[in-house]
Amino acid sequence: MKVNHGYVRRLSLTHDQAATLEDQGHAARAMWNLLHAWWMWGGKNRRPSLKQADEAIRQARKDIPWLADLPAQAAQQVLKTYVRAWKNCWEGRASAPEFKSRVRSRMAVDVPQGRDLGVVRLSRHVGQVRIPKVGMVKFRWSGPIPGVGREPGRVTGARLVKDPLGWHIVFRTEVDKPTPAQHRGPAVGVDRGITVALALSDGNDQTHGAWVRPKETARLLRLERKAARQKRAHRRGEPTSNRLRRTYDLIAKARAKVKRRRGDWQHKTTTSLAERYGIVVVEDLRIRNMVRSAKGTVELPGVNVRQKAGLNRSMLNEAHGRTVELLAYKLAERGGQLLKVPAAGTSQTCSACGHRDPASRKGVVFVCTSCRWAGHADSNAALNILNAAGLAVYGRGAEAIGPGREALTTRCAA
């Protein structure tokens, strides 16, 4: 089978190279917005052909000279990405495309042809890549890249992305691998929470420390207060001052480091789970519905709004949806399987006797009101998640069981 992956590397740009990429990024965003305005001119139900859209962007590049800063292949990729976004909307997988804001959107430029990159390794920690209209650019060699040197596979393209920490290049790669054999590891239920990040039904819970360190928290608070003072001095309608912009950039860099720290933990943890377990069972959570605001309306105001807002921030800070996405593809590559079960009742049901009572859960402690079984609430939920999948674990491997039988696990009550 063909396995596609992306490898992110940090670019080392000169001042002129960074300025050129900035121009290309602004041109790509403007191309998207012009294409969206042309597409929506006839209403949402308008469906022009790809040929008509291609002629429109070619004419735009002639009429607006600075759009030529964007390479022609990158402009074509903007068109393909935009059309794909509409197809995802029509098929119900995403919402309709919108205009890209200069402030809130992430700057990105595509290099669709991998053969034009000319990736080489110069030393132990330095590599080099050719970027259209920029030239040869060095990047941080933080690991092997398929298709470069003796590594099997090929580089199919790249994407240049700018985040608060600078410009990065994402190499798109393709590797031919044999179809993996079925993973013979055990099955496990996983409950995603806040107190315990990932509670496993076999007791091998996965936790982490605070994403933000104490000194970083204090510095971020100082920066946010500074931005608030500078914003009060800003008059409506005037451009943002350079000082306020620099403060916003420092805040964004601090938060980007936290996001990168969380992503590193997620990758390492999901890789460990995918290598150890053959079947991973999780709840089918509707996270978007779970983190909705509790403010309510003027006629029906919400209750405990501040508490719910804090809970929403904690849930979003864990990024549980991304954890499941990482688990899904890593399990598939190793012959494993990810199963989703309904989330209703998993935290209120006793894993020992099956009695369901909301009064059994008291914070992080679960005490069954029927059989008096006691344990951690997240561990109890993980056992229920595994039981809901109808799997029995016998040493190695997992097999389906018939209705009316209870899944066996090695988890003991705490």
Q: Which of 36-40, 164-168, 265-269 has the lowest mean pLDDT?
A: 36-40
Q: Is the pLDDT of residue 335 over 50?
A: yes
Provide the pLDDT confidence category of residue 400 given band limits of 50, 70 and 90: very low
Higher-pLDDT residue of 404 and 67 is: 67
Provide the pLDDT confidence category of residue 50 given band limits of 50, 70 and 90: confident
Mean pLDDT value across residues 405-413: 31
The total number of residues shown for the chain amounts to: 414
Mean pLDDT value across residues 61-71: 91
Note if 191 is an active site residue: yes
pTM for the structure as a whole:
0.82
Mean pLDDT value across residues 264-285: 92
- By percentage, how much of the chain surpasses pLDDT 90? 52
Q: Which of 53, 24, 35 is nearest to 111 (CA)?
A: 24
Task: Spell out the domain ranges in the chain.
Answer: 1-179, 187-400
Q: Is the pLDDT of residue 250 over 70?
A: yes
Region of 266 (left: φ > 0; alpha: ψ -120 to 50; beta: rest) is alpha
Q: Is the pLDDT of residue 261 over 60?
A: yes
Mean pLDDT value across residues 200-218: 91
The pLDDT score that the predictor gives to residue 156 is 94
What does the H/E/C string look like for 246-276?
HHHHHHHHHHHHHHHHHHHHHHHHHHHHHHH
| 110, 191, 202, 318: the active-site residue | 191
In tens, the pLDDT along 168-190 reads 999 999 999 898 999 999 999 99
Interatomic CA distance for residues 227 and 251, integer angstroms: 9
The pLDDT score that the predictor gives to residue 44 is 61
Note if 205 is an active site residue: no
Q: Is the pLDDT of residue 406 over 60?
A: no
Q: Is the pLDDT of residue 58 over 70?
A: yes
Provide the pLDDT confidence category of residue 298 given band limits of 50, 70 and 90: low
Q: Is the pLDDT of residue 49 over 60?
A: yes
Contact in structure between 280 and 331 (CB atoms under 8 Å): yes
The pLDDT score that the predictor gives to residue 357 is 86
In tens, the pLDDT along 80-93 reads 999 999 999 989 88
Strand 126-131 versus strand 337-341 pairing type: unpaired
Alpha carbon 380 to its chain centroid, in Å, reads 28
Mean pLDDT value across residues 325-331: 93
The pLDDT score that the predictor gives to residue 42 is 63
Higher-pLDDT residue of 389 and 11 is: 11
Q: Is the pLDDT of residue 401 over 70?
A: no
Contact in structure between 192 and 323 (CB atoms under 8 Å): yes
| 69, 110, 202, 378: the active-site residue | 378
Distances in Å between the alpha carbon of 168 and those of 9, 25, 146, 172, 249? 6, 13, 18, 13, 17
Q: Which of 54, 60, 59 is nearest to 30 (CA)?
A: 60
The pLDDT score that the predictor gives to residue 403 is 31
Q: Residue 296 burial (CB < 10 Å; 0-12/13-18/19+)?
A: exposed
Contact in structure between 161 and 168 (CB atoms under 8 Å): yes
Higher-pLDDT residue of 146 and 306 is: 146
- Residue indicated by tokens 């029927």: 370
Q: Which of 79, 84, 103, 108 is nearest to 94 (CA)?
A: 84
Distances in Å between the alpha carbon of 4 and those of 99, 176, 272? 29, 9, 20
The pLDDT score that the predictor gives to residue 115 is 86
Q: Is the pLDDT of residue 140 over 90?
A: yes
Tokens of 153: 């596979």
The pLDDT score that the predictor gives to residue 389 is 85
| 110, 202, 283, 318: the active-site residue | 283
The pLDDT score that the predictor gives to residue 330 is 94
What does the H/E/C string look like for the chain?
CEEEEEEEEEEECCHHHHHHHHHHHHHHHHHHHHHHHHHHCCCCCCCCCHHHHHHHHHHHHHHCHHHHHCCHHHHHHHHHHHHHHHHHHHCCCCCCCCCCCCCCCCCEEEECCHHHCCCEECCCCEEEEEECCCEEEEEECCCCCCCCCCCCCEEEEEEEEEECCEEEEEEEEEEECCCCCCCCCCEEEEEECCCCCEEECCCCCECCCCCCCHHHHHHHHHHHHHHHHHHHCCCCCCCCCHHHHHHHHHHHHHHHHHHHHHHHHHHHHHHHHHHHCCEEEEECCCHHHHCCCCCECCCCECCCHHHHHHHHHHHHHHCHHHHHHHHHHHHHHCCCEEEEECCCCCCCECCCCCCECHHHEECCEEECCCCCCEEEHHHHHHHHHHHHCCEEECCCCEEECCCCCCCCCCCCCC
Mean pLDDT of the chain: 86
The pLDDT score that the predictor gives to residue 391 is 59
Tokens of 378: 């997240």
In tens, the pLDDT along 300-319 reads 677 777 887 887 788 888 88
Note if 325 is an active site residue: no
Provide the pLDDT confidence category of residue 45 given band limits of 50, 70 and 90: low
Mean pLDDT value across residues 129-135: 94
Q: Is the pLDDT of residue 332 over 60?
A: yes
Q: Any bridge partners for residue 189, and if so which?
A: 281
Q: Which of 38-47, 263-272, 325-334, 405-414 has the lowest mean pLDDT?
A: 405-414
Q: Residue 24 burial (CB < 10 Å; 0-12/13-18/19+)?
A: buried
Q: Is the pLDDT of residue 366 over 50?
A: yes
The pLDDT score that the predictor gives to residue 297 is 67
Strand 187-192 versus strand 279-283 pairing type: parallel
